[in-house]
Chains A and B, each alone.
Chain A
Amino acid sequence: MSEEKLLQEFKKAENVLFNGHEYRITVGVSTCSLAKGADKILEKTKEEVAKRGINASVVRVGCNGMCYSEVNLEIIKRDGSWAIYSYLTFDKVPDVLEAFFSGSSKYAFAFRRKSGTLKGEEQVPYLNEIPFYGKQTRRILELVGIIDPLNIEEYEAFGGYNGLRSALSKTPEEVIDIVKKSMLRGRGGAGFPTGLKWSFVKNAAEDVKYVICNADEGDPGAFMNRLTAEGNPHSIIEGHAIAGYAVGATKGYIFVRAEKPLMAEMLSKAIEQARSKGYLGKNIFGTSFSYDIEVILSAGAFVCGEETALMAAIEGNRAMPRPRPPYPATKGLFGKPTLINNVETLAHVSYLFRNGLTNFVSVGSEKSKGTKVFCLAGNIQHPGAAEVPLGTPLRTLIFDIGGGVPKGRHFKAVQTGGPSGGCIPETYLDYALDYETLASIGSIMGSGGLVVLDNTSCIVDVARYFLTFTSAESCGQCVPCRIGLRKMLEIMDKIVQGDGTENDLFLLESWARKVADSSLCALGQTAPNPILTTLKYFRAEYEEHVRDKKCRANRCLKLILKAKLPKA
């Protein structure tokens, strides 16, 4: 949504949003801002507003993606005046309210929006003119940080659930046809065409079918699914119900990662509200379509994100992937045809049906339409989440939106796709972020987590880190993954401790290729990617470790220590 459109829609929804008050004060409370005490700031704000008799409703919203400037508190007046305070701490709350409502400029706000009549703050930048915000195309995130995630009426006031209404007025075939034409591809990693997957499940001849929303989000460094679920859970539930209708499912599940309990809580509460409004349950919108969704909390294992392992976990087994075919679309959960889609995929579905096909395909690259939310973390000035059209160059995300690496440091690489992805050097920063381009340079899109590395990060250490992760998370079922990854880790241990030889680099590469070629599931097949890409693009750093016993980032301490000791 453009800034103008957002402000217009906001105006239209004002009766719900202000709830009879003159002001609306919001505090972004999400897993990220909780780490900065946002819950206490929200309570303090409520207390102070009551004490001062300010005519405002104080509302909890999600994180708008600007994690770097948290905690964010926004004060909006009915005439549209909109002030955003950033980097807020608990102690500053009374002063901020005092300053705003008395008109003093002691605690100036950080940003404002282009509406209303805020005076005396001409120097304060407009939010949509700072690169972090202005360079985004916000669709999934459009209402995240704006609406109260647990007040279904606020989502409805922005047209929420009109997408489901519109889908239910069409036949399932028509719905699937629209999804196919949208060229939407799965945002869970592999980028499989969503409409095509839906048609497989629809065409499976069985009475009982399931839809599972994959909210396992196990890629360390990625948090777009939890940010969306915590900030606008209804957008996911709406997409889930549309999917259920299109494929003819009787029941839906959301499988949530154990480490992200707030996400599960928000989704469960939103499901209850959707039920009470008749968006879930029997005969939705008076049609013959009945549908309900259950939230399942994972017991924790990275491999649970893999679709066949995920189904095994719901069935009460160890999460062991199995060979495909049969694909879940024909034989899935409890042996029934099952559709599995990622959280963001389903949120895009609800956007598509709320805004129409023409709008949906208006951005994106040739083969992948729409937007994608990326998470920026690691050595970057502005860590957070940002949404851009598919095909946006990496440089725009990392340097314009993310502000580049901290001052005085040099960019080294960006890691995309988590433990299944690769490290991309500076040479490729102008390449577009889409499925094909990333694959062509040995990485993958994955969930969209971008971890930025600078000259203080050792590439060998980071590559080894991923092996500690994948070897521990291997389900242990197939030999190449279980033994191969361990062998590779042993070699990496030798290298970072200063005992590596040049032959080890060849061994490492040969193991990596074997594991990639012969593992049963994508965990093992892709686990060598971080090793293979770093060997390809940063071989010099490996060679320094094995030949010169040098770690240019000063990270591999054992190696450094050993190099200093006199030779025996």
Chain B
Amino acid sequence: MWRLKLLTEEEIVSLIEKYGNKKSSLIRIMQEIQKKAGYLPKEDLSVLSQQINIPLSKIYGIATFYHQFRLKPFGKHTIQVCFGTACHVKGGDEIWDFLREKLRLIGSEDTTNDLLFTVQKARCFGACSMAPVMKVDNDIYGNMTKEKLEEILKKYS
């Protein structure tokens, strides 16, 4: 099964050295941690808080403010469905509902039980001319239909 890892204390210290031990580096260090770990593990944030001398509550405040940050593990693949204006007008919400149905996600669940997929709503990728748009990891797909979605899902395992 897909697993995520924590960063070692040394890795966090070296990130702080790279970007500088100052408040304006905080977001960039958090971005790097998320890139490596896949999300922001609580243990990592505590280490970061001690090392950079910023209260954990403040770091938590930043992590919950920005869309990019996530405090729970992601699935192996992240599927983002665009909820921008052009995609809304072209029925992006129907793609979203169909996707969740296919992956059997209910209520507030956003990750499949096998940790294969996490689904997210996104704000416009700037590919509005191809609406409705969906992104799986770094691959972007345009002019989405339900049929196309079924085909695409098969490509990821």
- Are A and B subunits of one complex? yes
Query: Which A residues fall within an 8 A CB radius of B?
Result: 31-32, 34-36, 67-68, 217-223, 226-227, 258-260, 263, 296-302, 313-319, 334, 375-379, 383-385, 415, 418, 449, 451, 453, 457, 462, 465-466, 469, 475
A183 to B62, CA, bound (A): 40
Contact B123 A259 (CB under 8 A): yes
Contact B66 A221 (CB under 8 A): no
Residues in B neighbouring A219, C-beta threshold 8 A: 124
Residues in B neighbouring A32, C-beta threshold 8 A: 126-127, 129-130, 142
Interface size of B as a range: 35 or more
* Segment of B7-15, B26-34, B111-119 engaged in the interface with chain A: B26-34
A317 to B66, CA, bound (A): 10
Most buried by B among A32, A298, A314, A465: A32
The number of residue pairs between A and B whose CB atoms lie closer than 8 Å in the complex comes to: 144
Q: Counting CB contacts under 8 A, is B157 at the interface?
A: no
Contact A315 B129 (CB under 8 A): no
Q: Which of B89-112 contact A (CB under 8 A)?
A: 89-90
27 A-B pairs with C-beta separation under 8 A: A31-B127, A31-B140, A32-B130, A35-B140, A67-B129, A68-B129, A220-B82, A220-B83, A221-B85, A222-B128, A223-B129, A226-B126, A258-B66, A260-B126, A297-B31, A301-B67, A314-B24, A316-B24, A318-B62, A378-B89, A379-B90, A451-B89, A451-B128, A457-B89, A462-B85, A465-B85, A475-B65
Q: Counting CB contacts under 8 A, is B149 at the interface?
A: no
Q: Counting CB contacts under 8 A, is B131 at the interface?
A: yes
- What residue of chain B has the Cβ atom nearest to residue A462's Cβ? B89
Choose among A67, A218, A299, A462 the residue that contacts B27 (Cβ–Cβ < 8 A): A299
Contact A313 B27 (CB under 8 A): yes
Choose among B69, B125, B143 the residue that contacts A260 (Cβ–Cβ < 8 A): B125
Query: Which B residues fall within an 8 A CB radius of A?
Result: 22-28, 30-31, 61-62, 65-69, 82-90, 122-131, 133, 140-143
Most buried by B among A67, A220, A222, A449: A220
- Inter-chain pairs besides A220-B123, A319-B66, 11 sampled, C-beta below 8 Å: A221-B128, A223-B124, A259-B124, A299-B62, A299-B67, A317-B23, A318-B65, A377-B129, A378-B89, A379-B89, A383-B129
Residues in A neighbouring B82, C-beta threshold 8 A: 220
- What residue of chain B has the Cβ atom nearest to residue A375's Cβ? B128
Residues in B neighbouring A334, C-beta threshold 8 A: 24
Residues in A neighbouring B62, C-beta threshold 8 A: 299, 316-318
- What residue of chain A has the Cβ atom nearest to residue B90's Cβ? A378
Contact A35 B24 (CB under 8 A): no
What are the 4 A-B residue pairs with the smallest beta carbon separation, nearest first?
A220-B84, A35-B142, A67-B129, A299-B66
- What residue of chain A has the Cβ atom nearest to residue B89's Cβ? A378
Query: A122 to nearest B CB, angstroms?
Result: 31
Contact A384 B26 (CB under 8 A): no
Residues in A neighbouring B142, C-beta threshold 8 A: 32, 35-36
Most buried by A among B27, B123, B124, B133: B124
Contact A418 B27 (CB under 8 A): no
Contact A316 B128 (CB under 8 A): no
Choose among B67, B84, B86, B87 the residue that contacts A300 (Cβ–Cβ < 8 A): B67
A258 to B120, CA, bound (A): 14
A226 to B82, CA, bound (A): 16
- What residue of chain A has the Cβ atom nearest to residue B52's Cβ? A316
Contact A67 B130 (CB under 8 A): yes
A259/B125 contact (C-beta < 8 A), A316-B23, A318-B65 known: yes
Choose among B26, B86, B143 the residue that contacts A220 (Cβ–Cβ < 8 A): B86
A263 to B126, CA, bound (A): 10
Contact A31 B126 (CB under 8 A): yes
Residues in B neighbouring A299, C-beta threshold 8 A: 27, 30-31, 62, 66-69
Most buried by A among B23, B140, B141: B140
A378/B86 contact (C-beta < 8 A), A67-B130, A259-B124 known: yes
Contact B89 A453 (CB under 8 A): yes
A36 to B22, CA, bound (A): 42
Most buried by B among A334, A415, A451: A451
Query: B61 to nearest A CB, angstroms?
Result: 6
Residues in B neighbouring A218, C-beta threshold 8 A: 123-124
Query: A497 to nearest B CB, angstroms?
Result: 15
Query: A197 to nearest B CB, angstroms?
Result: 24
- What residue of chain A has the Cβ atom nearest to residue B29's Cβ? A316
Contact B128 A300 (CB under 8 A): no
Query: B88 to nearest A CB, angstroms?
Result: 5
Contact A301 B65 (CB under 8 A): yes
A259 to B122, CA, bound (A): 8
Residues in A neighbouring B30, C-beta threshold 8 A: 299
Contact B68 A462 (CB under 8 A): no
Contact A462 B88 (CB under 8 A): yes
